[in-house]
Structure 1
Amino acid sequence: MPSFFDASRDCGDAPARQGYWSASGVVLRRREDPHEGFRLLAFLKGTGLCWVNAPWAARGRRRFGAATEPLSWGEYRFYQSPRRTTLQDARLVDSYLSLHRDAESFREALEACLWLSRLPLGIPGDEVLGLFWSHFRALTLPLVRPPLRVRFLYRWLRVQGSAPELRRCSRCGEPLRGSLAWGRWGLECCAGRAEVPPDFLQDLCRAAMLAREPFVEWVKTRYPGGLSPSDRARWKEAEGWLQGFFPEGRSLFQKGEGS
């Protein structure tokens, strides 16, 4: 985890009234206005999702450089007025240019940004921000993507306290074994349907539970030549299943703009 997530540093809480404040985080979206500058949708430490105004420099030139580009992580200083939050200064930490150079990685990063942009405004989510940073780091590696997505979703659910149990049946409570089914409240071993092969359950557990370095090595070893069509279909099913456990439901993951 980078130093700008250090819990001992400024938590980034915006003041209730006027004043200067600082926070680290990531830019999710940007909207430009030819007269007033541009607005940033950022996910900030200690603050959560918020809209920020960033004025143009003299003669309509853009200020703050790459730190205000979508997908960029940085440290930011703001001025809070009764009506708006205005960006005063920005220091780029990582622009993730490598993601821009790879179409699949870039698409995955933008989709994750879209997911976060649909969360409620103004609710702190530092653990989610940390997971998001780790997901970005993983996207820079030459790994197959579906296990990364499932890992991110499961860990996000775990932070919210709504992750499904992966070791016991959600219906009978017994340890999972044999042919399994995707259930509304978790995996089921007594549903009479064979949707989840036992070997894929082990893969799912590894993707969700392994620490970062062991996970990276496992993915490289497990899928050295990429995913087969059947493997890809199973990971897609797992992804859709996990999306159903979010309080916002699958609408959080639909195509289109966020907040």
Structure 2
Amino acid sequence: MLEKVEGVVIRTRDYGESNKVVTLFTRERGKMAAMARGAKKPKSRLGAATQPFTLGQYLCFAGSGMATLSQADILASHYSIRSDLTLASYAAYLAELLDKLTGEKEPAPELYELLLTTFRMLEKGVDPEILSRIFELKVLEAAGYRPRLDGCIACGKADLPVRFSVRQGGFLCRKCQDRDPRALTLSPAAARILKTLQRITPDRLGDIQVKDETKAQLERAVRSFVDEYADLKLKSRDFLDRLKRDWT
């Protein structure tokens, strides 16, 4: 059966001398894998459309096994992301996180729109660190892991939090901060921004300016939460972290 889907290439791997297995995150069917026969050949009509981060319309033959790509039309190549090592590293991390935390053929239109919007914002020059925190929080929430950021996880009060407890899953106020000695300290700015990032989408971010020390606190809090509850080993994140260390 032939089926046309709109999707983004989030992962590829070589298969034999000339083929690729492409993982698409699609609007209609969620995540799906498809064989792109001959895509590695120089003159293949599927070559450009199966590059990482490409948005396209794909005509697939879906049978009982893996789908086969028979035709593809590029809607947005996202070449500016692929051609920039920094942007490509962030995009690869976000794509791998999405891949690891979603199941096959489970439609998730909100995550599909999140992916499209995040890539557009990366191309517009929006801070990739802040975009990554939004993306992480949204994907975690869709997977069933949502930290409580609207009040103290222990007493419920909405007083300005002072610590983030990974173990208990949210903010701790000054009165309750001793409930978790390993909770992470947050500045007032980091707490406010973290709460905001959980609520907004990337296109509503605006021209936000965040100090480096605040970004570091945000990264530590969200990354620690990812590691605790999702327990993922992400090669792209390791590469991104090495790249960031080289900048300093």
Under a length normalisation based on structure 2, what TM-score does the superposition of the two structures give?
A: 0.80
Structure 1 residues 155 and 29: alpha-carbon distance in aligned structure 2, compared to 1, 3 A threshold: closer
Task: Give me the whole-angstrom Cα distance separating, in 1, the residues matched to 2:17 and 2:86.
Answer: 35
Q: Comparing 153-162 with 41-50, which one deviates more in the overlay?
A: 153-162
Where 1:26 maps in the other structure, the secondary structure is strand
What whole-Å deviation, never above 9, does each CA across 1:49-91 have from its counterpart, x for those lacking one? 222112228x884222421111101111111223331111111
Contact 1:167 1:176 in 2 (8 A): no
1:201 aligns with 2:158: no
% identical equivalent positions: 21
Contact 1:23 1:45 in 2 (8 A): yes
Task: Give me the whole-angstrom Cα distance separating, in 2, the residues matched to 1:81 and 1:167.
Answer: 46
Matches within 5 A, 1:220-235: 222-223=209-210, 227-228=211-212, 230-235=213-218
Under a length normalisation based on structure 1, what TM-score does the superposition of the two structures give?
A: 0.77
Task: Give me the whole-angstrom Cα distance separating, in 2, the residues matched to 1:70 and 1:84.
Answer: 19
Q: Which residue of 2 aligns with 1:250?
A: 231
1:140 aligns with 2:123: yes
Where 1:243 maps in the other structure, the secondary structure is helix
Where 2:45 maps in the other structure, the secondary structure is coil
Task: Give me the whole-angstrom Cα distance separating, in 1, the residues matched to 2:225 and 2:121.
Answer: 20
1:125 aligns with 2:105: no
Where 1:39 maps in the other structure, the secondary structure is strand
Once the two structures are TM-superposed, the CA of residue 134 in structure 1 deviates from its matched residue by 1.2
1:103 aligns with 2:85: yes
Structure 1 residues 181 and 41: alpha-carbon distance in aligned structure 2, compared to 1, 3 A threshold: closer
Unaligned segments of structure 2, at least 5 residues:
238-248
**Root-mean-square deviation (Å):** 2.6
What whole-Å deviation, never above 9, does each CA across 1:99-154 have from its counterpart, x for those lacking one? 12322111100111211222332322222111111111121132332221111112
Q: Which residue of 1 aligns with 2:240?
A: none
Q: Which residue of 2 aligns with 1:241?
A: 224
Q: Which residue of 1 aligns with 2:171?
A: 187
